[in-house]
Amino acid sequence: MIISQQKPFEEILSALGDSRSVFIVGCAKCATVCKSGGEEEVWQMQEALTSSGREVTGSIIIDEACHMLRVGRDLRSKQQMVDDADALLVMACGAGIQSVSAAIPKKTVAALDSMFLGNIKRFGHFEQKCSLCGDCILNESAGICPVTACSKGLLNGPCGGMDEGRCETDPDAECAWALIFARMKESGDTLNLVKSSPPKNYTKIPKPGKLKLSK
């Protein structure tokens, strides 16, 4: 899921600028789980905006704000409230914010910062495991991603700074490559133990990303 955090309120106010009336859009998926743009946070935002002298014309929680067709359809169901607003404040990830800006030709303001693709460790505790590099090497790295888990993103490691299995950039963290080698030994992955990885071919990653499934 996409991990997001609310921007400081002062920053949101500044981005709203002269817009006196605001329609708020939240997201029922990732932003709800991250507690950055679910029902409760939309309500709190509404209170905060009203207290700071802005009018809130209405709000909506879209089931998946990254679903462009759904965003357009759901916003049409609140057309009058949207029309009455000077700006739309979107409490969703960057993809959701752009679904809204594509659907409504009106000032769209981002209330959240999108941080990373995260795994849920437990409630309210998220960890990045994958950086979406588009050319997965987990088959060669014992199922642990060095692109993400190593702070230098080294494809071959460990680096010279590793100290007794700890990372030189953060002594509290285990070195990703120490973990990878331990896992390889544990699983008898002798082939990958002695192999080195060539430089990554980042041209394989389309930017912007596009994928159309064949029917």
Which residues of the shown chain bind ligand SF4 in the complex (CB under 6 A)? Answer: 130-133, 136-138, 145, 147-148, 150-152, 154, 157-159, 161-162, 167-169, 175-177
Nearer Cβ to ligand SF4, position 55 or 163?
Answer: 163
Minimum CB distance to ligand SF4 smaller for 102 or for 136: 136
Min dist. Cβ of residue 149 to ligand SF4 (A) = 7
Rounded-to-integer distance, Cα 201 and Cα 53, Å: 52
Residue 61 or 150 having the CB closest to ligand SF4: 150
Nearest-approach distance from CB 5 to ligand SF4, in angstroms: 21
**What is the layout of strands, in order, in the sheet containing 125-128?**
2-6, 112-122, 125-128
Minimum distance between the CB of residue 153 and ligand SF4, rounded to whole angstroms?
A: 8
In whole angstroms, give the CA distance from residue 129 to residue 144.
8
The least CB distance from residue 6 to ligand SF4, in Å, is 26
Please report, to the nearest 10 degrees, the dihedral formed by the alpha carbons of residues 162, 168, 169, 171 taken in order: 110
Q: Give 81 or 159: the residue with its C-beta nearer to ligand SF4.
A: 159
* Tokens coding 84: 């009455």
23-37: b (≥16 Cβ within 10 Å) or e: bbbbbbbbbbbbebb
